[in-house]
Amino acid sequence: MTAHDPALQTARVPPAGPAEAEAGAVLAIDLAAIEANWKKLSSTTVPVECAAVVKADGYGCGLEQVTAKLAKAGCRTFFVADVAEGRRVRATSPASAIYVLNGLMPGTAQSFADASLRPVINSTTELAEWDAFVNMKAWRGGAALHVDTGINRLGITVDEAVAIAPRIQSEHHGITLLMSQLACSEIPDHTMNDKQIRVFREIRIMYRGVPSSLANSSGIFLGGTVYCDLVRPGAALFGVNPTAGRANPMRAVVELKARIIQVRSLKRGETVGYGAAWTAGRPTRLAIIAVGYADGFLRSAGAAKHKEAAGVIVNGKRCPIAGRVSMDLFAVDVTDLPEGTVRRGDLATLIGDGLGVDDLAASMGTIGYEVLTNLGRRYHRVYKNA
């Protein structure tokens, strides 16, 4: 793959990051694929509303670009992690409902009102502070109430939810969404799923008339009993497989091609990289790739226990990583490719051409979420199909 691959020259919008010729890698993000994934999930859950979780800079794909594309496609509700992300979504999509999942930090209520954001209330302490602000300012922007049904991170307890339920009889109770978070939705037969669905169903009865939400990306594939009034996919929008162990129903979104900056030869018995962790068992040719863990290509990709799944694609062939991934570089064994076919300036495929985000994650001993949210800022970014 050359640095002037025509597939990367089509359907471009203004790129981000360093200039292509100066960058260690080119990251192409297909916004049409994100839209198609949202529409697929939305059509699966009709008539239930399909929101979009765009936290962590749109799962590493660009918060503004992703939000603009999904809002244009018809998405009306977005979820972010914090107020700063909420402001960015508000600037991009002025009419949308925006929920802030990490809730109300002490003394920040006015920030929510200023940007017309809705906090996800995760404790009775937060609720008391929010109520005090709402009563003082007569704010009517609304908030979500998060009930912990078993994940044991954030959220009020079930008993607290029961105690709070009578407030919905008041005209301005301020709860615009009742929600909970599934702990094991990616494991369809896990007993936690049925337990949480049952508990949340009982809580919903007490909050009749308030829209509710339980299903995340994988939760959508558990079926209609999880849909409630709103589903909130995140990772699946960006191509991560929400159905572990089965074929991925989502379209691939990202393509990452990294520059080869040197091809060098080793004698049998010579070592590569820090710690001399890899030894050439034969005369070897290496391609040195201008990407490292500072770019989100995790150091664990070079770990021995993951070698069976590790590798990148060079000239259409899967080639293994040789040695440790360092901050800015790693080496790939290209000995089995015809001599002279791998050259300085060529691009090797780290994600794409059949090597998916989840495949790369497996080679690193992690999950697609971590790969996406660590996509490097030193990449030349190309947004396709805006």
At 280-338, the pLDDT tens digits run 999 999 999 999 999 999 998 886 555 545 589 999 999 999 999 999 999 999 999 99
Distance CA 377, CA 43 (A): 34
> Is residue 55 annotated as a catalytic residue, yes or no?
yes
44-74 confidence digits (pLDDT tens): 999 999 999 999 999 999 999 999 999 999 9
* pLDDT value of residue 12: 40
- The pLDDT of 14-31, averaged and rounded, is 89
Give residue-wise pLDDT tens across range 173-188.
999 999 999 999 999 9
Alpha-carbon gap, residue 370 to 293, rounded angstroms = 12
Q: Cα separation of 64 and 381, whole Å?
A: 14
The two structure tokens encoding residue 285: 């040719």
6-28+251-384 adopts what CATH topology?
Lyase, Ornithine Decarboxylase; Chain A, domain 1 (2.40.37)
**pLDDT on residue 303:** 67
State the pLDDT confidence band at 245, using cuts at 50, 70 and 90: confident
CA–CA gap between residue 97 and residue 238 (Å, rounded): 21
Peptide bond into 47 cis (omega under 30): yes
How far is the C-alpha of 3 from the C-alpha of 350, rounded, in Å?
A: 14
Contact present, 165 and 207 (Cβ < 8 Å): yes
List 351's β-bridge partners, or say none. Answer: 256
What token pair was written down for 320? 């293994």
Catalytic residue among 59, 274, 307, 317: 274
* pLDDT reading at 205 higher than 50: yes
DSSP state of 340: T
Please list, in sequence order, all residues whose beta carbon lies within 8 angstroms of the beta carbon of residue 102, skipping any fewer than 6 positions away.
81, 82, 120, 122, 154
List 286's β-bridge partners, or say none: 264, 333
* Stretch among 9-18, 100-109, 179-188, 217-226 having the lowest mean pLDDT: 9-18
Instruction: Please confirm, yes or no, whether 369 is among the known catalytic residues.
Output: no
pTM listed for this prediction: 0.91
- Type of residue at 2: T
CA–CA separation, 107 and 125 (whole Å): 12
Q: Say what the pLDDT of residue 349 is.
A: 97
Structure tokens at 279: 């030894």
pLDDT-derived band of residue 11, with 50, 70 and 90 as boundaries? very low
109 vs 102: CA distance, rounded Å:
13
pLDDT at 2: 41
* Bridge partners of residue 313, in order along the sequence: 318, 349
Alpha-helical runs (H) found in 277-335:
none
Mean pLDDT over 346-354 rounds to 95
The residue assigned the tokens 């919008």 is 13
Q: Which of 2-6, 84-88, 343-347 has the lowest mean pLDDT?
A: 2-6
Helices and strands (H and E) in the chain: how many? 11, 21
pLDDT, residue 15, reads: 61
Q: On the CB side of 31, how many CA atoms lie within 13 Å of its CA?
A: 23
Question: For domain 31-238, is the CATH number 3.30.1280.10?
Answer: no
Contact of 82 with 54, CB cutoff 8 Å: no
Q: CA 319 to CA 333: how far, in whole Å?
A: 6
| Band of residue 120 on the pLDDT scale cut at 50, 70, 90 | very high
Domain spans, the chain: 6-28+251-384, 31-238
192: tokens are: 């936690």
Q: What is the pLDDT of residue 310?
A: 58
- Catalytic-labelled residue, pool 39, 55, 69, 305: 55
% residues pLDDT > 70 (the chain):
94
- Contacts of 11 by beta carbon, 8 Å cutoff, 6+ apart: 384, 385
